[in-house]
Amino acid sequence: MTKLYIAVPCYNEEEVLPDSAEKLRAKLNAMMDKGLISYDSRIVFIDDGSKDKTWQLIEGLHNTDSIYSGIKLSRNRGHQNALMCGLMTLRDQADAVISIDADLQDDIEVFDEMVERYQDGCDVVYGVRSKRETDTFFKRFTAEGYYKVLDKMGAKVIFNHADFRLMSKRALEAFSEFHETNLFLRGLVPMIGFKSAIVTYERSERLAGESKYPLKKMLALAWEGITSLSTKPIKMITRLGLIIFLISIIMLIYSIIRFFTGATETGWASLAVSIWAIGGLQMMAIGIIGEYIGKIYLESKHRPRFIVETFLND
């Protein structure tokens, strides 16, 4: 039977925690009774250096019921790091770990389906939002646009999937080979491969309290996603430099024509052409240096070159 752990990162979540904890416990108990998961499954709260009573609440929960566990980070390190901490700490203990936000905006009713997919042999099960009705137009427009930009940048992400997913022990083991510190988990997980599946759900409103992801943090995460997964922006500089240099050649031809038709001031042609040419060449040079820095950057991540799924051998 599957030993399932639920990893819940929490930052200043005193308002939602008691409610969320109760809902999660009821859900897990129901799954245990159905025989879907084992009785030693756990709900693990990862306190990301909260400044409110979050940790005291976690301690209290742990003392009343052994289904609750807690991990406390020494200080606030951000959602992605807190989640990574949870996944890496739990990978030896659980058969599978589901990560979910503390506010339970993601639907806990799809846990069953996730576990079933896992039992069918999937190592990663992605929770994907079927629609974005609870989002404001702004959020929906920017979020969906962002996923498309990421795709164009060559980063493989699952459309409308955030950090609600199940990962098997094997997937977590493989994931531990990724040593990078700048984390954008939803972009890294697809890199590990293995058989995966998608379950869809509708995202609801936050149970209580306020979003711990203000616009500034969201933009930082979005930028992190692009820069930690892709070196395309550097290539764009090289390309732009090339385009500007080509324009300088057109400008050169244009200036020569103007010169011979006598329609220019002395010195104008050489000046105009050199501005374009120098600009283009400089940008290309920066781009080329950037290409090498990009390679150094990717090398420095020490990502695994391959992950073996099966080895048939007597």
Q: Where along the sequence are the contacts to Mg ion (CB under 5 A)? A: 101, 103, 105
Whole-angstrom distance, CA of residue 204 vs CA of residue 77: 26
Which of 76, 119, 200, 264 touches ligand UDP (CB under 6 A)? 76
Which of 41, 69, 99, 105 touches ligand UDP (CB under 6 A)? 105
Which of 5, 7, 9, 157 touches ligand UDP (CB under 6 A)? 9
Per-residue mark of binding to ligand UDP, 158-197 (x: CB under 6 A):
----------------------------------------
> Cβ of residue 153: shortest distance to ligand UDP, in angstroms?
22
- Is residue 13 part of the contact set for ligand UDP (CB under 6 A)? yes
> Cβ of residue 205: shortest distance to Mg ion, in angstroms?
9
Binding partner at 106 among ligand UDP, Mg ion, none, C-beta below 5 to 8 Å by kind: none
Which of 147, 194, 201, 213 touches ligand UDP (CB under 6 A)? 213
Using CB under 6 A as the binding rule, the residues of this chain from 37 to 66 that contact ligand UDP are 48
Taking the least distance from each CB to ligand UDP, the nearer of 11 and 111 is 11
Through-space distance between the first and last CA atoms of the chain, rounded to whole angstroms: 28
Which of 57, 91, 98, 101 touches ligand UDP (CB under 6 A)? 101
Taking the least distance from each CB to ligand UDP, the nearer of 86 and 280 is 86
Binding partner at 9 among Mg ion, ligand UDP, none, C-beta below 5 to 8 Å by kind: ligand UDP
Taking the least distance from each CB to ligand UDP, the nearer of 46 and 273 is 46
Structural contact between residues 94 and 11, judged by C-beta atoms closer than 8 angstroms: no
Q: What is the Rg, in whole angstroms, of the alpha carbon atoms belonging to the chain?
A: 26
| Residues in touch with ligand UDP (CB under 6 A) | 9-11, 13, 48, 76, 78-79, 82, 101-103, 105, 211-213
